[in-house]
Chains A and B, each alone.
Chain A
Amino acid sequence: MKNQRRVWFGVALIALTLLLLPFALSQAGTAWVRIANFALLYVLLALGLNIVVGFAGLLDLGYIAFYAVGAYVYALLASPHFGLHLPIWAILPIGAAVAALFGVMLGAPTLKLRGDYLAIVTLGFGEIVRIFLNNLSQPVNITRGPQGIAGIDPVRIGGIDFSRSDSVLGVVVSGPMKYYYLLLGLMLVIVLVNVRLQDSRIGRAWEAIREDEVAARAMGIDTTGMKLLAFAMGASFGGVAGGMFSAIQGFISPESFVLVESVMVVSMVVLGGMGNIAGVILGAVLLAFVPEVLRWTVEPAQRALFGKMLVEPEVIRMLIFGLALVLVMLYRPAGLLPSAVRKRELTQERTS
């Protein structure tokens, strides 16, 4: 009983922190709220990928393709490019649906593939999607190719325009702060879906597939359907995150959806702990803030010590990603916050 009260207290504390965070951050500058927003976007992506990688055990190295699809759906339906300006409540579901369709398109031909082969094929798929986005300006101009799509509508809900600041009861709420709350809300929804999935019949089925696909099929699990469902669900979350990215940036081009971004999201999931929701969130937040933290620490430190910059923060960031992937696999294969099942199975596998 006492324990439960403590849990509730903890939850309330976290909730309060998250609610007040943008105000604290905006004291340091609205730029920090933007950085927090990008971190939240990565959390959305990592949670989506976690369904595919963590729950169903299918390593997807082309996940950023779904993010790109979501972003382009938003951009095409709410920008001067086609002259369409649909409202957000229409676009996000469309984006999620189209992304899910792409997920099935990727999943269907690769059902037979496992492990490393699947990883390479998904990587190829991600590149194919990017190459198409980059080249579909000819012969009919659909994506505007490398020129990118500009003038994308910001989110508008009711009379609230998310790109402007408003004052509510004397408190100024800037555009990025509104996006923060919107993203926080989306994150909560996705976390809830994740939590509910994990312990549902579907979640168990995924787990069974991850452990032993043949046995799972023997137990009567529709492995084909379940795998496709994992791809579709993971992809749809990516699509939603992509739509939000479009709205926040107002301009997108294929250079935002390169392979490195996929690797980054995979790193987040792996580092945090595949299959564990809290771990994945932690991984995403940590790695999303790394570049900013480095920018504030490494750069000035080097300039102070050597008078110039020897190693760029960007390089350190990539080295950290690389090292994180290697070291986590070697010493903590279940991630910083391992899921209970993963932890058990990994220790068993190593001792056997």
Chain B
Amino acid sequence: MKSSKLALTLLAISVGLIGCGEDKKPETKKAEAPPPPSIEIKIGHVGPLTGGIAHLGKDNENGARLAIEEANAAKIKIDGKDAKFVLVAEDDQADPKVGTTVAQKLVDAKVAGVVGHLNSGTSIPASDIYNKGNIPVISGSATNPKLTEQGFKVQFRVVARDDQQGPAVANYLATASKPKVVAIIDDATAYGEGLANEVEKTLKAAKITVLPREKGTDKTTDWKAVLTKVKGKKADAVFYGGMDATGGPLLKQGRELGLKAVFSFGDGACTDEMTKLAGAAADGLLCSQAGIPPQAADKKFLDAYKKKFNVDPIIYAPFTYDAANLLIEAMKKANSADPVKYLPELAKIDYKGATGKIAFDEKGDRKDAEITMFTMKDGKLTPIAIIKGGQTVSYEDFVKASAPAPAAPAVAPAAEPAKDAPKAEAKK
């Protein structure tokens, strides 16, 4: 019995070791292959490739992959050598525990930089590990403010924080539909509650009455008790922080109960799925997405993405694309793939990406991140306004204003914008 136990344990370990050995081979092989004056630069990407939001993880990974392939095609030279960028894609299953393990794996593999993770819940514990390994990491989708509040120099993000999105939605709701009493409901997840808290803060600051918070869970299907209470308190607007799977039934049941209030949701429930989930009740819904809508992203990026992956980006691919490009751009400027050398360049970068102009504040958050407001019209989400730096611009004006931009060599890792950028920074 004892020997069998030992054997099994050893077996488990050896299988693990063999597995790990296999993982390392392809990377080292590739390193040796190209002719002498070249360097291989590994860039990690982490997102859930399995599990409930695997499709979003893949979308994120595609964005980063596209950026890296374009950079390779552009034959960038770093420190006089041909740079060959390699994407090391990892799966964190959206589980905090796996997130730290995978982060450690990337640190072990000595990647030059990381794009990811997708969720705030995995990004926050992982950021500590990247910080210790001194590896710059840019998230294209984690919106929890906490991520960049930890004081880690290596952590950046190119997407709007919850406390940027929340106020934007709340302000839009306050000015567009002028409610007197607003009910706020959330799904008791980090995302839903976080967003709802920010909306509440802004509405209260605008002297609008906010009812005590109501909550469900991310699996709740019966919202009637909560909605009836909201109806009884005569709310004329409802904000829900949560995902579409719960937001759909919420909206439908609200209308069934004869609730006339305006419903507004955050980006988790701002998907085309809402029409299926709520049916005709979805019409008139107001909702927001962090960043500009994928269809408003740089045309060149959209075409390249579609051509390469044969699908349209879902939500965050333009952001991870930009994140990967930012890493490459900073390496070019520093003329080095060594984080110690290019990190300062990354911190003060000024870059025109697929999602617009990107510069970081001292925390590593994007300055003036955009938020888009949508409305549901005849079963289709239609962008109505873009909010940036507290300014609301109608969608038509935004498209008109940014139309010439894609014509300029903005996204391509060309030399011109790179030269301009530091000057623009210096002027400030």
Do chains A and B make direct contact within the complex (CB under 8 angstroms)?
Answer: yes
Give residues in A with beta carbon < 8 Å to B.
10, 14, 21, 24-25, 28-32, 34-35, 38, 134-135, 137-138, 145-148, 150-151, 163-164, 175-176, 249-253, 255-256, 278, 282, 285-286, 289, 292-293, 295-297, 300, 309, 312-315, 337
From B124, B132, B193, A146 is in contact (CB under 8 Å) with: B193
Q: Counting CB contacts under 8 A, is B307 at the interface? A: no
Residues of A within 8 A of B124 (CB): 148, 150, 251
**Whole-angstrom distance between the Cβ of B217 and the nearest chain A Cβ:** 8
Asked if residues A147 and B104 are in contact (CB atoms below 8 Å), the reply is no
Please choose the segment from B10-18, B275-283, B287-295, B398-406 that sits at the chain A interface, where 4 or more of its residues have CB less than 8 A away: B10-18
| CB closest chain-A residue, reference B2 | A10
Contact with A along B116-138 (1 / 0, CB 8 A): 00000100110010001000000
**Whole-angstrom distance between the Cβ of B210 and the nearest chain A Cβ:** 13
How far, in angstroms, from A91 to B22 measured CA to CA in the complex? 41
How far, in angstroms, from A309 to B93 measured CA to CA in the complex? 14
Additional A-B contacts beyond A249-B96, A282-B9, A300-B22 (13; CB < 8 A): A28-B16, A38-B97, A145-B188, A148-B124, A150-B124, A150-B146, A163-B128, A249-B97, A289-B12, A295-B91, A296-B23, A312-B50, A313-B50
Name B's interface SS: helix
**Whole-angstrom distance between the Cβ of B144 and the nearest chain A Cβ:** 7
* Interface hits, B192-230 → A, CB 8 Å: 192-194, 213, 215
Residues of B within 8 A of A337 (CB): 1, 5
Asked if residues B108 and A30 are in contact (CB atoms below 8 Å), the reply is yes
Asked if residues A147 and B194 are in contact (CB atoms below 8 Å), the reply is yes
**Whole-angstrom distance between the Cβ of B187 and the nearest chain A Cβ:** 9
Residues of A within 8 A of B76 (CB): none
Residues of A within 8 A of B5 (CB): 278, 282, 337
Residues of B within 8 A of A150 (CB): 124-125, 146, 150
Could you pull out 20 A-B pairs where Cβ atoms are within 8 angstroms? A21-B13, A28-B21, A32-B17, A35-B101, A38-B97, A146-B193, A147-B144, A249-B97, A249-B125, A250-B125, A250-B128, A256-B97, A278-B5, A282-B9, A289-B13, A293-B16, A296-B19, A312-B50, A314-B50, A337-B1
Residues of B within 8 A of A38 (CB): 97, 101
Asked if residues B108 and A31 are in contact (CB atoms below 8 Å), the reply is yes
Name A's interface SS: helix
Asked if residues A32 and B16 are in contact (CB atoms below 8 Å), the reply is yes
Asked if residues B51 and A314 are in contact (CB atoms below 8 Å), the reply is yes
* Interface hits, B101-122 → A, CB 8 Å: 101-102, 104-105, 107-109, 121
How far, in angstroms, from A164 to B105 measured CA to CA in the complex? 16
How far, in angstroms, from A72 to B125 measured CA to CA in the complex? 15
Residues of B within 8 A of A256 (CB): 96-97
Residues of B within 8 A of A309 (CB): 50
3 nearest CB pairs, A to B: A296-B19, A29-B108, A31-B105
Residues of B within 8 A of A148 (CB): 121, 124, 190
**Whole-angstrom distance between the Cβ of A263 and the nearest chain B Cβ:** 15
Q: Counting CB contacts under 8 A, is B100 at the interface? A: yes
Contact with A along B340-357 (1 / 0, CB 8 A): 000000000000000000
Assuming the A-B contacts A293-B19, A296-B20, A337-B5, are A145 and B150 also in contact, with contact meaning beta carbons closer than 8 angstroms in the complex? no
Assuming the A-B contacts A135-B188, A145-B188, A249-B125, are A163 and B132 also in contact, with contact meaning beta carbons closer than 8 angstroms in the complex? yes
Asked if residues A146 and B19 are in contact (CB atoms below 8 Å), the reply is no
Residues of B within 8 A of A30 (CB): 104, 107-108
Q: Counting CB contacts under 8 A, is B6 at the interface? A: yes
How far, in angstroms, from A98 to B18 measured CA to CA in the complex? 42
How far, in angstroms, from A156 to B9 measured CA to CA in the complex? 31
Asked if residues A314 and B150 are in contact (CB atoms below 8 Å), the reply is no
Asked if residues A28 and B104 are in contact (CB atoms below 8 Å), the reply is no
How far, in angstroms, from A150 to B152 measured CA to CA in the complex? 13
Residues of A within 8 A of B23 (CB): 296
How far, in angstroms, from A134 to B187 measured CA to CA in the complex? 11
Residues of A within 8 A of B8 (CB): 282, 286
